[in-house]
Amino acid sequence: MNKQALETIAQAMVTDGKGILAADESTGTIKKRFDSINVDSTEDNRRDYREMLFRTEDAMREHISGVILFDETLRQKAADGTPLAQVIADTGALPGIKVDAGAKPMAGHDGEMVTEGLDGLRDRLNEYHALGAKFAKWRAVINIADGLPSAACLAANTHALARYAALCQEAEIVPIVEPEVIMDGTHTVERCYEVTTAALTSLYEQLGQQGVHLEGTILKPNMVVSGTENSVQAGLEQVAEMTLDCFHKCVPEAVPGIVFLSGGQSDHDATAHLDAMNKIGGLPWKLSFSYGRALQAAPLKAWGGKAENTATAQAAFAHRAKMNGLAARGAWSADME
Ligand code: 13P
């Protein structure tokens, strides 16, 4: 393992005022996003849409440290023949790759999921490294419901995350480890705190056991929030304080950065929560974003599948990237919106 190379990449991923664009929607997920704007999900449409984001030059240069890609995109070329990974690298951002094969129903555990994709992962990572990927992502899904998550679900998912992380580091790729506690449900914010604490505790036990070099990893967690169907919703300060309290207990200081997923939060909440945490400050790790929907919802809608909307869509993406870049420094305020 080349520890120095891994540390350099991980630190670049959490450069001050920058965060990650999660553009790694699987073929099924991007189809859902395109359905919402009545656009067919063809290979060319997916390429045009993503190329448009990656060519939003100022936003990419100033606020985006890396882009997570789906396998198809890492192999795709821009309209002018330049590989999309090169288009990204030309802006100074690092290309990354989603390597999990998706969350599947867990045998014998109704309502729970386990992420697949370890078989053959070593060979795939070596190929991705040759294609220019500097980091990778693996997402585990943890649902909250009566009696869930089970200890078995947490153990299976964090074990897989740790084995994935070890394989990434062997291939000189920085692993983003993402144990996502899902927002859907009627649970309280306290229950989200409890489950997020259990998931992160189990994750760092497993990473330790597998000998993963924490300085060469990035954590991608959920925030501690109320279940979406709970009539009592924790406010901005409570989310910020409970999330940080959970991380101070569970996340070792050796971890260089924590980049949040947006998980279905509104664009405004995703930015405001990140900003509130950075305003509290005094943190041993960088705290930034790795948003999919909270960066892309606005440009996707503005684009609507029409080339003539490119400038408007790029402006919408640039705005969200700028707002989240400010939030990563604790320098955002609502009137900037
Ligand atoms: P969202 O920000 O839309 O949750 O997506 C981030 C991501 O990469 C989930 O795996």
**pLDDT digits over 53-66, tens only?**
999 999 999 999 99
- Note the maximum CA span of the chain: 53
Percent of the chain with pLDDT over 70: 100
In degrees and rounded to multiples of 5, residue 292 shows phi and psi of: -100, -80
Convert the pLDDT of each residue in 112-149 to its tens digit: 999 999 999 999 999 999 999 999 999 999 999 999 99
Q: Which residues are catalytic?
A: 220
Res 71: pLDDT: 98
Distance 212 CA to ligand 1 centre (A): 24
Residues 6+ apart with CB under 8 A from 90: none
Q: Does any ligand 1 atom lie closer than 6 A to the CB of residue 67?
A: no
Res 307: pLDDT: 97
How does strand 103-105 pair with strand 113-115?
antiparallel
Residue 40 confidence class, pLDDT cut points 50, 70, 90: very high
Domains and CATH numbers, the chain: 3-336 (3.20.20.70)
Residue 164 confidence class, pLDDT cut points 50, 70, 90: very high
**Alpha-carbon span 201 to 245, nearest angstrom:** 13
Angle, helices 43-54 vs 293-303, to 10°: value is 110
* Adjacent-strand bridge partners of 20: 66, 290
Global pTM reads 0.98
Q: Taking residues 90-108, report their average pLDDT.
A: 98
Res 23: pLDDT: 98
* Adjacent-strand bridge partners of 23: 69
CB-based contact 237:28 (threshold 8 Å): no
Q: How far lies 39's CA from each of 22, 42, 44, 67, 292, in Å? A: 20, 9, 11, 23, 19
Q: Does any ligand 1 atom lie closer than 6 A to the CB of residue 259?
A: no
Q: Does any ligand 1 atom lie closer than 6 A to the CB of residue 223?
A: no
Convert the pLDDT of each residue in 244-264 to its tens digit: 999 999 999 999 999 999 999
Structure tokens at 245: 């309290």
Nearest CA to ligand 1 atom 9: 261
Q: Does any ligand 1 atom lie closer than 6 A to the CB of residue 70?
A: no
Convert the pLDDT of each residue in 2-30 to its tens digit: 999 999 999 999 999 999 999 999 999 99
Atom of ligand 1 nearest to the CA of 22: 8
Residues 6+ apart with CB under 8 A from 231: none
